[in-house]
Structure 1
Amino acid sequence: MAAAQPPKPENMIWAALADPFGISAFLEQSLYWTPAEKNAQLPALKGFFLLNRCFWLGWALLLLGFSYARFSFRPKLEKAAGATITAAAGDTTEVSSRPTIHLKVQQWRSFRSIFSFELRELLFSWPFLLMMGFWLVIVFTEIYSRINSGGAYDDSLYPTTALLVWLIEGPLPYFALLLILFYTGELLWRDRERKMEGIIGSTPVTNPPMFWARALTLFSIPVLLMLAGVWLAVGVQIAYDYSNFEPRRYLAMFYYSGWPLFFYTTIILLVQILMPRKYLGMALAFAFFLATRPVVLGQLGLHHPLLQLGSFPSLVYTDMNGFGDTSRPFHHFAVHWSILGSVFVFLSYQLWPRSREGSLRVRWRNLRRQWRPGNTALLAGLGLLFLLSNLSIYHELHIETEYQSPQDQLDFKEAYERKYKHLHAGHSLFPTAIDQELELYPHLGKYKVKARCTVQNKSDSVLTQLFITERLPLAHLEVQGARLLERDSTFGAWLYQLDPALQPGGCFDYQYELLWERKGHQSSKSLLENGAYLLRDEYDPVLNYRPSLEIQDPTERHRRGLPPLIEEQVVETHINQEATMGRIDFNCIISTVENQTAIAPGSLVGQWVADGRAYFHYRSATPIAPILSFFSARYARRDTTVNGVGLELYFHPTHDYNIAHIQAYAAQALAYCEKTFGAYPFDHLRIAEIPSHWPFGGQAMPGTISMVADRLYLTDLRYSPTFDLVAKRTIHEVAHQWWGGVLCPKNTPGASLIIEGLAK
């Protein structure tokens, strides 16, 4: 579990000592092995690997010796032999009055007493203390190895609450479920193993206090682990002089990470109650947990979320947007599985093995005999709620949106290829002008696009037909001088007859409109309530057949009778985007909510507010490369001027740690590149922050740069004395304004030398 590998050699010892399996020590030893050495060489018992084995073997021997010294093979006699009990002399008096018992008060007192006892037994037991210590070591290793020179360039990060919670949540399910699995058996079988079940069962304490005290003790295990993790994380933040603790994010962890664990606790509790042996119950619960993992069920063809027991939607959290639209599906499934968990708890309570009630068959017989109409009503109510929850989720997945299983997606790809592969043309249609209106509604989860584009045929062939494939469903599409031959809504395909035919070098106009709106359980990483970052390639229709929709797996293609794919020269995505596509005249009016700033490539020629919306008009003064993205967020802003160029920095208000450095490095890069490579073609340079879930460091567009939050703004320069990653990434993206912007090589092998190599 301590597989987080610290990148700095001097930090390897911490991971090596913390890993009882020796994985981290082995990784340290084989870090610089060549592929040939990895295939032939065996790990040597030396260095950190030897230290790791000696440390854990010594610790194991110490525990074994301690256990042997403390264990006794002789039963203890609690009372001396021959002791007698002397009865009190004198007359006895019959007491006629009977005490008044307040049942509810007595049950509450019994519950408090049993719960406090069980909690003390848990907290001060050796297994729990050892696992808690191991848990803290793992969490500390994860945190330390990431925030302290844990990046690809040995860069450090500020210990933000979002980052630390993410690091805690990684190993949490494994530790929590292991402890729950173990202590469920201990709590349920402890009285029977100590031969105390008869005495406990004969006490006047009713079943509810006994059951709920032990059930809540089990539910408290993940809470205790999270509390310890929060305590450690806050301590790290204090040690690193970081004061933005964000308690709401810590509290959210107890819900978003704790709720799935609570549900699994109900399953483990029921399985253990049904089994006649403790270790059999543990084994079956563990096997059940493994068998219901999404990866296992997926192999069986059970991909639907409703068929994956305890499956919760993935969550994405960023400082800019919080959980965003990913929290709504989670709430829905939390209610859904909570209802089923309540059924499991109800059955566990009814089958609670009190005293010597015998086998499961006996308990079932007693349950039928003691069954009350209220139990039927409760179980029926829970069943009805669970059915309604199923129908509600089904509606969100299948009615509001179109659910596709992996098999459905493969069928779609196969059908698209078989039907339209013959229309894959080798023409080169590139835009020369784009004029669009973009309306963003981040709080409503929708956006509208109205675009008019001019396209030029840059190939040597005459084009008589035009095949268009949608990326998103289009509300309207019109091609100048063309007649619609076919409209296929299933595949989002449009086929036009060009009249007259488009000659080499010829141009035509087309315009389209679309509305994308989040429905059901859909989520978007692009359109966020705060921090929207929309790429043109996400919605702009493709003026050709889309090879990216083909099945890529050779085995699957062979199974379906599809021809092998023709291998093409692999080119980086970044190079594809910056390849020679010509230049365009760009004009865009982008609107958003009034309290946000909208950004697009081009010079800002107008800005106004109308009907509670903010409008921004951008236009390119000279033709630019058609690499276009659009931003909208509640930005803080810092401006300066460098040789007549307006340098504008847009960032999340709490991410201002490196703004002065970014501004200084961008200014230096602008001055150097202008002096060395030629004039900067724009009157502005904008650098805007985007949320951390984007999988790249930055993207350069004409006059505009997007930078990912945790790749630049949250880099902690206080603990990166040998390498300034903020300077490296800022200067690199500014240099792309020349290498990839002013100069765009052809999309051929070696293009990366011009675009990426010379920009470093």
Structure 2
Amino acid sequence: MWLKILAFELKYRFKRPATYIYFAILFLLSFLAISTDVVQIGGGAGLVKENAPTTIATMMAILAAIFMMIPSAIMGVAVLRDYEHDMASIMFVNPISKFDYLAGRFVGSFITLLFVFSGILFGFILGEFMWWRDVDKLLPFSLWNYLHPFVWIVIPSLFFSGAIFFVSGALSRKMVYVYLQWIILFIVYQITAILFEEIDNRSLASILDPFGISTINVETQYWTVDEKNSLTIPIAGDFLLNRILWTTIGVLALIGGYFAFNFNVVRSRKGRKIQRAVKDAVAATIPIPAATQLFGFKTTLKQLTSQTWFYFNQVLKSIPFQAIVFFGMFILIVNSFYMGRTFGTYTYPTTYLMLELISGFQLFMMIILVVYSGELIWKEREVKINLIYDAMPVRDMTNLLAKFFGMVLIYVTLLLALIVTAIIIQAARGYYNFELGVYFSTLFSDTLFFLILFTMLAFFIQVMVNNKFLGYAMMIVFFISTLVLTNLGVEHRLFRFGSSDLGPYSDMNGFGHYVPGFSWFNVYWFGLATLLFAVATLFAVRGSEALLKIRFRIGKLRLSRSLSIFIMTSVIVFLLSGCYIFYNTNMLNKYQNSDDQEELQTDYEKELKQYEYLIQPKITDVTMDVDIYPYNRDYEATGSYILKNKSNEPIRDIHVQLSTDFQIHTDTIYFDRPAVLSENFSKFGYRIYSLNQALEPGEEMEMHFKTSFITRGFVEGSPNNTVVFNGTFFNSSQFPSLGYNEGFELFSDSDRKDYDLKPKDRNLDRDDPRGLANSFFGDDADGIMFEMVVSTSPDQIAIAPGYLQKEWEEGDRRYFHYKMDVPMANFYNVVSARYEVMRDKMTIPLDSGEKEIALEIYYHKGHEYNLDRMMKAMKQSFAYFSENFSPYQYRQMRIMEFPRYSSFAQSFANTVPFSEGIGFMLEIEDDDDVDVAYFVTAHELAHQWWGHQIVPANVQGAAMLSESLSQYSALMVMKNEYSMENMKEFLKEEMNRYLSGRSGEQKREMTLTKVESQNYIHYGKGAVNMFALQDYIGEDSVNTALRRFVEEWHAYGDKDRYPSTKDLIPYLRDVTPDSLQFLVTDLFEKIVLFENKVNEASVVKKGDQEWEVTLDLSAKKLEADTLGTETEVPIRDWIDIGVYTFKDGKEQLTYLKKHKFESNEQTITITVNEDPVKAGIDPINKLIDRNPTDNTKAVTFSDEGT
């Protein structure tokens, strides 16, 4: 019998248009995702091919998760619809058994579900064969690469989710409970995504993720490009456990549902007793009073108010809604434990961080919006009282408005609950600066307005399509389409519904300059949303006529005078605000989409590349006057350069490159000798001036200019954040430079191919004289003498490199005169803000006495938390670097806080702008915390040596000299202050940065000595390998090598070129024993990895204070090429062996010693005097290892010897 029910179910499903619509949606999205850049869903990065096995697996997992609504719609109603259509009493009779009924319904629905989701499979496969595909981005076609993830990822996800939806629908007989299960699955995924952020929790996240997204990410997080292009996800380990776990949950749901399902129309005897009692009751006679009918505004308002309150309570009191809120709050609280963590260290729960935390709740808000918009639109029809309700004397718009206002009240209630929860979290963490105004201004202007706009849209879609589930699907497709539009080049917010940007909140600058544009775009979209809502009112189903054609005729009759005025008002608001936005974004300012920008970069290279290595004079002196008007977001600058011909050839043409930022205008350029503007490439800001008399070798001349930064109205997209109300920070790149700027070129080889450009040239070789002759700061200057007078508003302090010569006020302006007394890099900054100042000083010894250094931290009031740590880091860093490398070249150091529009610190000559987003607000209270504020400060101060004393040549490996050596220097300062366990935590994060980064390499992985713009190498690998080097040959030996290097290659000395890593490595080899010379090669000139593992760790107690630890270890050494293809090589290495013992109430690494490995398998026995708890190989992670979690293992005790 169940087969007949199965056949009936399939026949019913495949007659439904929704089945084919769902299939078409998935097919089309999958087709577009694999064959175009229009839809991008978790595709490959860098050199990973677009049809690589890992790319396909990730996209399938994401699509299955995003469209989990479809299984809920298909599986959830399989039994439920018999109750909704009053068919249960017919179906629940002999000869149909409960098993036949449930099995037939489930299997038929599941087969339908497989058909629908096969659209993903067929869309991907067909898309691969499209003729427009770039074959260079593809692997040869392999059907297995598509079948494997479909079988192991999509089908299991559909099975367990389908089982859960099927059972919840059958038992609850309410669709809203089905949605609840869907939401719970997303909550579980959210939790796994949170866990994934912590390296130590990733295995757990991998197992628990219901959709397998985190599972794939964990499995492939350290795969190389070669592995991602060749391997499918192995059916083993955490991936297999994940699939077994969730398939088992699906089976258990079906078994539990089978036994819990009541195969009767009437649920209980209690219900029948109540029904009988009602039948026997004697009806009371109640007189009907005469009613006076009033249909004025007051009546309409009362109806609207009562209905709004009714719908609000209907949603608020529903168990699924309460469950959604509960789980959402739970996610919020769980997320708060990981909020703002950097290297495992917490950030104080500032209001802006809490707002970012709340933004993670927006997924639940959108689910509530989509689900309950549909539920309220269909509420009366689903309980079959719509005909009665529609006959009531209520205006057409009142019912829809009441449902809308009910939703708005729900949002307000949720936002208030979120604010209360956020404040509780802040208070629990001991932070009491609640900033209620910021909460309300953000959530009730940005979040609430966004929800209002999309609720109106959801009502419009539900009314027009007149199918609840199709309406849900269309809302999801609409959300995706807003992302697709940007990939189609439709980037302007005027064409992306609901798009506005309030920007990040900064304690220093608030929402600042983002507010005007945000406000106008919201007015614009509100005009359109209200228009859609009015149209929905015209076409809303009232009565039994549901056909759109008939509703259109009815809508004409509903178009009253008041509604016509409302519609016209909406149209006027929409059009006028749109015109005003266009005037601001496209006329007062310049609008460019990404395609325009790419074309500009392409044309720049094609037209001007010929001038790249043209000999130009060098800037030797910079003198400037800069007037900043922070509250207008403007500045005016007049400056002069002294240009010197340092070449052996006369120079007749001066090539000047201006900033391409449309807000920056350089109106005046002139020289102290006759010159004419011979060529002007205005769209590139590139000018060529021909001198009447050539500049001879050794000769100097002056160049004068006037540059201004002008703010007019507001821009489309993110505004320029360099000149702001409080926290202005810009650098020398905004002023004229000399010669062709290679940094303006298009970087991505994929994009370059689209514009018929050859692949981007690698950085110049380390022997190339063109690169060695110029510093990595640029080729238009060596060292410069610098002087600047900068003015700002009277309540602000302006800072630039150099020593303060004079400070004064004149009128409503505050002036600061800075001057440098020694040469510095042509890389300077200007900062202005309302600052508090912390001052201190220190002395460093010199050969001829002592030097006093003034130390200052300019900070925003209220950000005092880590100032002592930062000041301490400055003192200890200067002491360490001056003692071990060379004396500090300046007499002061200033750290200046700037708004969190960027999260970095940057080292200029004796000044370090430091983002409020890193360091200032870190909550460092535990000794086990990684002191990021301390480390970042030390790293940036190290750049005063590695970047300002040693200025690398503009060749491969420059970043090793500047960044890797700064990482090393900061680590050494940190090592002398913190425990080895702190160092381990830091090194673990840096190793993760390196291993994760190499899997998404854009070109080819380079060795450290040849590193280019590859952050994961010069930061991550650089830190780990430099730390390993000092561990092997000694800190003093490394410092000796670096000291000699600085002495020989100090900037602005008598060398005729800049240094490269070819110059550094010999110094390191000189202090490295012959037996460890291979180590320098492995760390810096090769790509070497290890696979270290402890197989067994056993302990025998030999005496009262003596334990013998026996370790069965594996060690494998691998060399990789630039694409990650690995080859095992013989191991002849010394590797740390460590034993952790329980001491002073906690685990401590009490034994750490190097042992020689000459084979892959080795057994080592160690005697310790403390009670051991775990042991292993390379416990501090000094060697690059893709799976460091198996380096240590808890020991097992043996009775032998006791």
TM-score by length of 1: 0.89
**What is the rounded CA distance, in whole Å, between the counterparts of 2:255 and 2:765 in structure 1?**
57
Distance 1:549 1:604, change over 3 A: same
| 1:475 corresponding residue in structure 2 | 667
Among candidates 372, 376, 380, match of residue 191 of structure 1: 380
String of CA shifts for 1:73-118, please: whole Å, max 9, x gaps: 41576743994776779xx9998x7557585554444334333332
**What is the rounded CA distance, in whole Å, between the counterparts of 1:417 and 1:254 in structure 2?**
47
Offset of 1:533 from its aligned partner? 0.6
Where 1:121 maps in the other structure, the secondary structure is helix
* Alpha-carbon contact 1:123-1:129 (below 8 Å) kept: yes
**What is the rounded CA distance, in whole Å, between the counterparts of 2:429 and 2:207 in structure 1?**
23
**What is the rounded CA distance, in whole Å, between the counterparts of 2:882 and 2:589 in structure 1?**
51
Where 2:688 maps in the other structure, the secondary structure is strand
Q: Within the alignment, does 1:524 sit opposite 2:715 as a pair?
A: no
Among candidates 575, 588, 596, match of residue 788 of structure 2: 588
Offset of 1:684 from its aligned partner? 1.7
**What is the rounded CA distance, in whole Å, between the counterparts of 1:632 and 1:668 in structure 2?**
28
| 1:159 corresponding residue in structure 2 | 349
| 1:513 corresponding residue in structure 2 | 706
| 2:931 corresponding residue in structure 1 | 724
**What is the rounded CA distance, in whole Å, between the counterparts of 1:668 and 1:161 in structure 2?**
33
Offset of 1:737 from its aligned partner? 2.1
Offset of 1:223 from its aligned partner? 3.9
**What is the rounded CA distance, in whole Å, between the counterparts of 2:619 and 2:312 in structure 1?**
69
* Alpha-carbon contact 2:502-2:511 (below 8 Å) kept: no
What residue ranges of structure 1 are gaps of 5+ in the alignment?
A: none
| 1:550 corresponding residue in structure 2 | 745
Letter in 2 for 1:480: D
Where 1:4 maps in the other structure, the secondary structure is helix
String of CA shifts for 1:651-676, please: whole Å, max 9, x gaps: 11111100111112212222333333
Higher alpha-carbon deviation: 61-70 or 253-262: 61-70
Where 2:738 maps in the other structure, the secondary structure is coil
Where 1:689 maps in the other structure, the secondary structure is strand
1:587-736 equivalences in 2 (<5 Å): 587-643=787-843, 644-696=852-904, 698-719=905-926, 721-736=928-943
Where 1:576 maps in the other structure, the secondary structure is coil
| 2:25 corresponding residue in structure 1 | none
| 1:127 corresponding residue in structure 2 | 320
Letter in 2 for 1:396: N
Where 2:346 maps in the other structure, the secondary structure is coil
Letter in 1 for 2:696: Q
Where 2:348 maps in the other structure, the secondary structure is coil
* Alpha-carbon contact 2:763-2:956 (below 8 Å) kept: no
String of CA shifts for 1:255-282, please: whole Å, max 9, x gaps: 2123222211111101101223222222
| 2:448 corresponding residue in structure 1 | 258
Where 1:530 maps in the other structure, the secondary structure is coil
| 2:588 corresponding residue in structure 1 | 400
Size of the aligned set, in residue pairs, is: 748
* Alpha-carbon contact 1:179-1:221 (below 8 Å) kept: no
Q: Within the alignment, does 1:140 sit opposite 2:346 as a pair?
A: no
Among candidates 298, 311, 331, match of residue 118 of structure 1: 311
Higher alpha-carbon deviation: 274-283 or 187-196: 274-283
Work out the percentage of aligned pairs sharing the same amino acid: 26
Where 1:726 maps in the other structure, the secondary structure is helix
Higher alpha-carbon deviation: 64-73 or 559-568: 64-73
Offset of 1:6 from its aligned partner? 4.7
Offset of 1:209 from its aligned partner? 4.2
* Alpha-carbon contact 2:869-2:933 (below 8 Å) kept: yes
| 1:319 corresponding residue in structure 2 | 507
Higher alpha-carbon deviation: 589-598 or 413-422: 413-422
Distance 1:419 1:167, change over 3 A: same
Distance 1:720 1:111, change over 3 A: farther
Where 1:322 maps in the other structure, the secondary structure is coil
Letter in 2 for 1:322: G
**What is the rounded CA distance, in whole Å, between the counterparts of 1:35 and 1:490 in structure 2?**
39
| 1:270 corresponding residue in structure 2 | 460
Distance 1:430 1:370, change over 3 A: same
Distance 1:728 1:369, change over 3 A: closer
What residue ranges of structure 2 are gaps of 5+ in the alignment?
A: 1-188, 844-851, 970-1202
Letter in 2 for 1:394: F
String of CA shifts for 1:201-255, please: whole Å, max 9, x gaps: 2334444543222112233454444444433322322221111122122211232
Among candidates 423, 428, 432, match of residue 239 of structure 1: 428
Q: Within the alignment, does 1:303 sit opposite 2:507 as a pair?
A: no
**What is the rounded CA distance, in whole Å, between the counterparts of 1:665 and 1:120 in structure 2?**
57
* Alpha-carbon contact 2:619-2:784 (below 8 Å) kept: yes
**What is the rounded CA distance, in whole Å, between the counterparts of 1:483 and 1:184 in structure 2?**
70
String of CA shifts for 1:459-512, please: whole Å, max 9, x gaps: 344322112121143110002324212344333232211233223333221010
* Alpha-carbon contact 1:16-1:52 (below 8 Å) kept: no
* Alpha-carbon contact 1:16-1:24 (below 8 Å) kept: yes
Distance 1:427 1:67, change over 3 A: farther
**What is the rounded CA distance, in whole Å, between the counterparts of 1:113 and 1:268 in structure 2?**
23
Letter in 1 for 2:366: L
**What is the rounded CA distance, in whole Å, between the counterparts of 2:883 and 2:248 in structure 1?**
63
Letter in 1 for 2:688: L
**What is the rounded CA distance, in whole Å, between the counterparts of 2:369 and 2:623 in structure 1?**
60
**What is the rounded CA distance, in whole Å, between the counterparts of 1:422 and 1:190 in structure 2?**
70
Tell me which of the two structures has the higher relative contact order, counting C-alpha pairs closer than 8 angstroms and 6 or more residues apart: 1
**What is the rounded CA distance, in whole Å, between the counterparts of 2:317 and 2:261 in structure 1?**
17
**What is the rounded CA distance, in whole Å, between the counterparts of 1:461 and 1:242 in structure 2?**
65
Letter in 2 for 1:241: G
Q: Within the alignment, does 1:491 sit opposite 2:684 as a pair?
A: yes
Among candidates 253, 259, 265, match of residue 74 of structure 1: 265
Letter in 1 for 2:854: G
Offset of 1:568 from its aligned partner? 2.9
Letter in 2 for 1:280: L
Letter in 2 for 1:667: K
Distance 1:479 1:285, change over 3 A: same
Where 1:132 maps in the other structure, the secondary structure is helix
* Alpha-carbon contact 2:776-2:952 (below 8 Å) kept: no
Among candidates 636, 659, 670, match of residue 448 of structure 1: 636
Higher alpha-carbon deviation: 407-416 or 591-600: 407-416
Distance 1:154 1:482, change over 3 A: farther
Distance 1:253 1:49, change over 3 A: farther
Distance 1:49 1:431, change over 3 A: farther
String of CA shifts for 1:612-656, please: whole Å, max 9, x gaps: 111111011222222200110111111112122211111111111
**What is the rounded CA distance, in whole Å, between the counterparts of 1:94 and 1:637 in structure 2?**
80
Where 2:684 maps in the other structure, the secondary structure is coil
Letter in 1 for 2:399: M
Where 1:356 maps in the other structure, the secondary structure is coil
**What is the rounded CA distance, in whole Å, between the counterparts of 2:778 and 2:932 in structure 1?**
24
1:10-21 equivalences in 2 (<5 Å): 11-12=201-202, 15=205, 19-21=209-211
Higher alpha-carbon deviation: 686-695 or 646-655: 686-695
String of CA shifts for 1:596-623, please: whole Å, max 9, x gaps: 1111110001001111111111011222
* Alpha-carbon contact 1:427-1:458 (below 8 Å) kept: no
Letter in 1 for 2:453: F
Offset of 1:397 from its aligned partner? 1.7
Offset of 1:725 from its aligned partner? 2.0
Among candidates 739, 742, 752, match of residue 946 of structure 2: 739
Offset of 1:167 from its aligned partner? 2.8
Where 1:528 maps in the other structure, the secondary structure is coil
